[in-house]
Structure 1
Amino acid sequence: MRRDSKSLGVLAISSAAIIWGSNGVIVNSLPLDAFTIAFFRVLLASIILLPFMLLFRRVDLLRIAESWKLMLLNGFLLCLGWAFLFASMKLIPIANAVLLNYLAPIFTAILSPITLKERLEKTAIIALILSFIGVILISQDEVIGASASNLLGILYGLLAGLSYAGFIIVSKRLRGEFPSLVMAFYSYVFAAVFLALMVQPAPPTLSPYSWLLLLTLGGVNTGLAVTMYLHGLGSVEAHRAVILTYLEPLSAAIFGLVFLGQVLGALDLVGGALILSSGYLVARS
């Protein structure tokens, strides 16, 4: 029975990671700016999750007053993280944008001694060096080509990883007080509030196909996939979950190649491997 539960957990996390890999294709197919896309993502995810929260987590929903400031900060960091990630995806190959976002565990390990009073391990320093080399390899084409938009895409990707690192740190402080699903729901709600202040006041005029893409991004890629991921974490060890989520950049590369014609070079692949390896080192330490 335990083995079956673990197998289902592995399947849930793997499926979620593969689903997330399609985010870049959806983002590049929508005639909207990154902040507007991020707004609709968290808004639709909040609406879809609300009935489940009322049915199964009603008591926990009312406890928000205990830690509303941290929840608010978590939502702000999430809104920045996804907006920067989507902005990066619109400027550079989606696999590279995802890989830069995967620097978050490295940033977390570096910032934890300051924010969480955790000791800085030697492994984190090694991981930082490896990931730095990986970023250089990924961005070498943009630097050599001196394309302003591509360089901006690299910067957005780094900011996405840094924002997500902050989200991880704040989530660690909240994890002992709230179930993961409650944290996710309120993060979406507060992120939607912040993003609503940044997007155009008038609703965009979109085709039915674009609305379908937004519903997919909010309902499937966020509401469903995040729920699957959180469910999988209950039966899969943390370091194994990290390995399984590496299916996201792999699937992003495949989706980018098939749907957008984005081909990664040898240095991109080596740089990506270094970034993922550094993340694995941090997860195992």
Structure 2
Amino acid sequence: MFQVKKGPYLAVLLGCVLYGMTGLFLAGIHNLPITSVIFYRLLFGLIFIFIFLLVTKRLGELKPGKRKSRLLLQGIFVVVNMFFYFLCVKETCFSVAILLEYTAPIYVMLASPFVLKEKVGKESILALFLAIAGVYFVIRPEDGFGSIEFSGSHMIGIASGLFAGMLLAVIIMNVRVLKRDHSEFAIAFWGTAISCLLMLPFAFKTPFYSLAPNLSTLAVFGIVSVGIGGMLTTIGYANLQSQTGSLLALIEPVAGVFFDLVFLGVALSAGTLAGCILVLAAAVIVSYNGSPESSAACTDYLENAETS
């Protein structure tokens, strides 16, 4: 039966819906290199998280516990994941890049039994096939993937996309490990802070006259995507089995299609609609069949939230 306490499930879904708004924000940003967009997106998100922790009197949670090296690695993984994802977009196309990026649940399902001692249920395997098929239908090019030329540069792009997917899987599983010694808010803050620091050199490559007209959009982009979305997905990933969290994250491209349809007037094909339905079906399956571990984690999280 569907459980009432679904906090972590909803956190991942809502966070990924906010991530899915990326296309809307990018459409409103002009004459900025993608590296500058990434930096200011991270910066405004970091500022929001800090203000949130200050207002809610949670700054004490930022004191690093054990596994400090994993906090550092989390920030590095996020930046490197962005780099290889955008390299894949550049060398292939957006459709191929997002498909390869969201092979992450495959790697999580293969690795989590060994890394995190998580069991792989039949429902998770079914949801994985439905979700991957759904993402394929959502983002496939009109001419089909067979139209892509497998030249040297395209092979580099494909390899980059696969590596980005592997890194996304590592990021999701690393959150589960970090949760043993850090709060979800500390993980979100330090991961973002380290990523922002690594991207700092790109902040000075953009002239102010190009940056100024985009500041308001960048601020909202960072707050919505990195700030609110980042905290929500971190809460979800920390309190769910990693394979469940990675499957729920596949809602992001579906959300992106929805926002493009409603706000940008992008046409919705029958194949795209079918893909969205498959991904949503996968999300329903993993939500209805939450493992005892994730259900217990959800209960603990809600109890802690009530007492804090």
TM-score (norm 2): 0.67
Is contact 1:24–1:86 with CA below 8 Å preserved after alignment?
A: no
- Aligned residue among 151, 175, 179 for 2:179: 175
In 2 relative to 1, CA 255–131 (structure 1 residues): closer, same or farther, beyond 3 Å? closer
C-alpha separation in 1, matches of 2:174 and 2:47:
23
Match of 2:300 in 1: none
Greater mean deviation of Cα atoms: 238-247 or 140-149: 238-247
C-alpha separation in 1, matches of 2:22 and 2:197:
22
Instruction: State the 1:185 CA deviation.
Output: 0.2
Match of 2:71 in 1: 71
Is contact 2:24–2:264 with CA below 8 Å preserved after alignment?
A: yes
What do the CA deviations read for 1:151-203 (whole angstroms, capped 9, x no partner)? Answer: 98877665444322111111101112111011100010111223336x47523
- 3-state DSSP of counterpart to 1:32: coil
C-alpha separation in 2, matches of 1:124 and 1:237:
11
Is contact 1:109–1:120 with CA below 8 Å preserved after alignment?
A: yes
Instruction: State the 1:134 CA deviation.
Output: 4.5
In 2 relative to 1, CA 110–281 (structure 1 residues): closer, same or farther, beyond 3 Å? farther
Is contact 2:20–2:254 with CA below 8 Å preserved after alignment?
A: yes
Match of 2:61 in 1: 60
C-alpha separation in 2, matches of 1:172 and 1:235:
7
Match of 1:45 in 2: 45
Is contact 2:184–2:238 with CA below 8 Å preserved after alignment?
A: no
Is contact 2:109–2:243 with CA below 8 Å preserved after alignment?
A: no
In 2 relative to 1, CA 110–35 (structure 1 residues): closer, same or farther, beyond 3 Å? farther
What do the CA deviations read for 1:230-255 (whole angstroms, capped 9, x no partner)? Answer: 67899999999999877644431132
Match of 1:36 in 2: 36
Structure 1 unaligned residues grouped into runs of 5+: none
Greater mean deviation of Cα atoms: 230-239 or 99-108: 230-239
Instruction: State the 1:29 CA deviation.
Output: 3.8
Match of 1:203 in 2: 206
Match of 1:27 in 2: 26
- Whichever residue aligns with residue 113 of structure 2, its letter is P
- Whichever residue aligns with residue 188 of structure 1, its letter is T
C-alpha separation in 2, matches of 1:267 and 1:203:
40
- Whichever residue aligns with residue 143 of structure 1, its letter is F
**Residues 1:144 and 2:143 are matched in the alignment:** no
- 3-state DSSP of counterpart to 2:43: helix
Instruction: State the 1:26 CA deviation.
Output: 1.5
- Whichever residue aligns with residue 144 of structure 1, its letter is G
Is contact 1:100–1:135 with CA below 8 Å preserved after alignment?
A: no
Match of 1:108 in 2: 108
C-alpha separation in 1, matches of 2:247 and 2:148:
34
In 2 relative to 1, CA 104–114 (structure 1 residues): closer, same or farther, beyond 3 Å? same
Match of 1:221 in 2: 225
C-alpha separation in 2, matches of 1:23 and 1:48:
18
Identity among equivalent positions (%) equals 27
- Whichever residue aligns with residue 112 of structure 2, its letter is S
Greater mean deviation of Cα atoms: 43-52 or 265-274: 265-274
**Aligned Cα RMSD in Å?**
4.5
C-alpha separation in 1, matches of 2:173 and 2:11:
24
TM-score (norm 1): 0.71
In 2 relative to 1, CA 183–268 (structure 1 residues): closer, same or farther, beyond 3 Å? same
- Whichever residue aligns with residue 63 of structure 1, its letter is P
Match of 1:266 in 2: 270
Aligned pair count? 279
Is contact 1:81–1:164 with CA below 8 Å preserved after alignment?
A: yes
- 3-state DSSP of counterpart to 1:186: helix
In 2 relative to 1, CA 62–234 (structure 1 residues): closer, same or farther, beyond 3 Å? closer
In 2 relative to 1, CA 34–83 (structure 1 residues): closer, same or farther, beyond 3 Å? farther
In 2 relative to 1, CA 159–270 (structure 1 residues): closer, same or farther, beyond 3 Å? farther
In 2 relative to 1, CA 279–185 (structure 1 residues): closer, same or farther, beyond 3 Å? same
Instruction: State the 1:271 CA deviation.
Output: 4.0
Match of 2:256 in 1: 252
